[in-house]
Every structure is written in C-alpha cells, then in structure tokens.
Structure 1
Amino acid sequence: MNFELEDKLRNLIDKQELDNAIQLAESELNKIPKTDFHKMIGKDILHLSNDLKIYIQKFDKSTSEILNKPKGLIKSVFGKPTDYRPAAYYCEMNGFTINYDRWFIDLFSFKEMGGDDWDWLCDFYDSTASDFTITGLEDIQKVFEDVHENDRFKEPNIEKAYEVCELLVILRLQELFRLTYSKIEEPLSNIPLFVTAHDYELIYRVN
C-alpha cells in the first residue's frame, strides 16, 4: 500500500474533493513507467449508475421495513404507523486485488452513526441479501490476476503501479456512488452513505 498517497487522497475526499483525488492518483500513476496497470487511467464505471440506483433503493425499502416492523402483539394491533429510517449506509467492495475473478459490493445499514474511528461500521443491523457486480473493469481484473498468479511483483515498476491502481479503483467506485446518489430523491438522499473497499480506510462520505 502506498500510505503516503493514501493519506493525500484521504485528505482530499474528506474535503469532498473527489475529482482532485482522482486527478492526483492518475498523475501519480503516470509518473511510473508504463505497465498494464496504466489501463486504469481515464476509466470509470459510471455506466452502472442506473442499476446501482435501483439496488440502493431496493435495499433502503427492505431495511427500513425492518426498523418499522411492529414489536409485540399489542403494538402490532394498536401501534401507530412509524417511518423510521437507517441512520447511515455503508458500501464495501470485496477484497478486489486478490479476488480478481469478480468484483462486487455489498451494502450495510445502521441504526446509529458513530465517529471517525470507523469502529462503528462493525455494528450494522442489516445487509443486502445479494451483492452487486462491478462490470467494466474486467481488463484491470486480469492485470491483478496476472501479477498475482505469475508473481510479477519483482519486475520493475509493477509494485509501484499496483499500489496506485488499487487506490484509483476505489476512487472510481466512490465516483460512481456520488453520481448515483445525486439521482436519488429525498428522504433517502439525506441518509449518509460511506464507500470504500474491504480493509481500506480510504472512506468517502457520498452526501
């Protein structure tokens, strides 16, 4: 992991400067002599926005129903209708660098939102029953596969490019969520949504 670059990117996305973060990551990748990882430059996955919107809305409906389900016989008969919503949502992409056969995400919902230490992300009350497959980056998946399967890390520039590319993949996922959330109406669009990949702290708050 390129921790120095990750820190710079985190500072940018904390300030909602996602476009600048993407530009910085691509610039850093361009400084490295060309590898197959450079195919990631200029790529995005925004074509998934409409399908992702449906996926998020379906989960919002099902997970909100859990919060609004009457508890106990008396409440089920005499209780007033409620309209509770999750306090926050979290998207996690799978460990994509070593699971290159398929890239996907899952969503998680929370009754309460915690602080910046992110420990609260373990306390979700619900998650999506099925995951959402990321498409459009299959050629990049093959690059990660080739590097791992053929142990190419000792080759010149491969490891450096790998460490930048993995961060750029996450940024492009966050870009997809930003676009998708901009198409979603209230009250769902008012619920904070955080996006990253498994075992990364490059976490972006979409709204």
Structure 2
Amino acid sequence: MEDIFEEKLQGLLDQHKLEEAIAVVEQQILQNPVADFKPVVGKNLLHITEALVQYLDHCFAAAENKIQVKSLYAEMNSFTINYDLWYVDVFAYDRNEGLEDTDWLADSDYQSAASQPITGLEDIQAVYQDYMDTAKWEDDAREVAAHECAALIVLRVQELFKAAKAVATARKLAWASVPVYVTAHDAYFNLLYQV
C-alpha cells in the first residue's frame, strides 16, 4: 500500500499539484486511528519563508563564486530518526539533468557551508522522539501513521521552497530562474519536487 501511496503523491508532484498532494496526505492522517501524529495536520512552515530566501540567496552567491549554477538541490536531514534538530542542506550543480534519472544529484559541484534550520514543528519532533525511544515503530498501525506524517513533512518543506521561490521571483533575485529540487535524505517516502 505504501508504494501505491508514494506513487500517487509523486504523480501529483510531477504534475505540480503540491497543494492537492498535501490535502491527500492530511486526509489520510485524519482517517488513521492512531492519534500520535494528527497534530501535524494544518501546520505549515511558511513562517520561515524569509529566512529560507536569505539562506538560498547566500548559498547561491557562494556557489556562483565557484561554478555557474544551473540547478540547486535541497535535502532535509533524516528527520524521522534525528528528531532533535531538523534542517535543510543545499547543493549546487553546473548542470540540470532533470527528473528522468536523478542519479546525477549524488554528484554535486558545491555544498552549502551551513544548514537552514526547520522550525515550527517541535511538537512533532517530540512525537518522533517518543516513537523511536519507546519502539512504537514495532506497531504496524503506528508505523503507517509515522510514514504518513513523514510524507506530509516532506511536502510542507517543498511548499516552503515553493513560497521562497515565489519571493525570489518577485524580487528578481539571481537564483529565481534556477530549478530547485527538494526532498528529504532518507524519509519513508522518496518524494522529489521541482520548484
């Protein structure tokens, strides 16, 4: 079932239907009898849009000193097991090979020196800590709920990057026209979105 769910979400992302993908996952979480992860529904990360714009602007400028940037890749850390700190790292490339075969993303030309913290979901970080520390992952229903929540968090990070890109476009920032690929390092779901 998880593969079908992931395929559905990736299909929506491929069609640039991010909001619809978020709605699908939120509905799934609400229908799940496990209550632990339900507080994530309705929350977003848009309060850190300006911080992300500044971070991306700095990363792009630093990368441009070394290469001609053709694309960026943003990856959230392994947040489901690293519940103490959530953040995003950015990588720059002198090429853009698209989404058809994403192996090229493993070979970046530049990596940001600092990470951008992801804040605002500390209550969910505490849920993941309890989930891991008390081995709740051994319960199949909780495992499904954790997967659904992880998918929503990845989608919310992608929503944040989409908002940052809109700000960059409005301000005519240097990186506004550069494709940005966004995912999480080893989330339960391998959801990749191009902003």
TM-score normalised over the length of structure 2: 0.92
Equivalent residue for 2:192?
203
Residue 186 of structure 1: how far off its partner (Å): 4.7
Equivalent residue for 1:27?
27
Is the Cα–Cα contact under 8 Å of residues 35 and 157 in structure 1 kept in the other structure? no
Match of 1:178 among 153, 159, 162: 162
Residue 156 of structure 1: how far off its partner (Å): 6.7
Equivalent residue for 1:57?
57
Query: Identity of counterpart residues, as a percentage?
Result: 36
Q: Secondary structure at the match of 1:153?
A: helix
Aligned residues: 189
Q: For 2:69 and 2:83, how far apart are their aligned partners in 1?
A: 32
Q: For 2:2 and 2:47, how far apart are their aligned partners in 1?
A: 29
Q: For 2:27 and 2:190, how far apart are their aligned partners in 1?
A: 21
1:127 aligns with 2:111: yes
**What are the Cα deviations for residues 54-74 of structure 1, in whole angstroms up to 9, with x where unaligned?**
00001111110112xxxxxxx
Matches within 5 A, 1:1-207: 2-67=2-67, 85-115=68-98, 116-155=100-139, 157-184=141-168, 185-199=172-186, 200-206=189-195
Q: For 1:66 and 1:48, how far apart are their aligned partners in 2?
A: 28
Q: For 1:135 and 1:86, how far apart are their aligned partners in 2?
A: 28
Q: Secondary structure at the match of 1:183?
A: helix
Q: For 1:203 and 1:154, how far apart are their aligned partners in 2?
A: 27
RMSD: 1.4
Amino acid at match of 2:180: L
> Which stretches in structure 2 are left out of the alignment for 5+ residues?
none
> Which stretches in structure 1 are left out of the alignment for 5+ residues?
68-84
Q: For 1:47 and 1:166, how far apart are their aligned partners in 2?
A: 20
Q: Secondary structure at the match of 1:189?
A: coil
Residue 140 of structure 1: how far off its partner (Å): 0.3
Amino acid at match of 2:191: L
Runs of 4+ in 1 over 3 A off after TM superposition: none
Q: For 2:140 and 2:110, how far apart are their aligned partners in 1?
A: 44
Q: For 2:35 and 2:23, how far apart are their aligned partners in 1?
A: 18
Equivalent residue for 1:78?
none
Q: For 2:38 and 2:29, how far apart are their aligned partners in 1?
A: 7
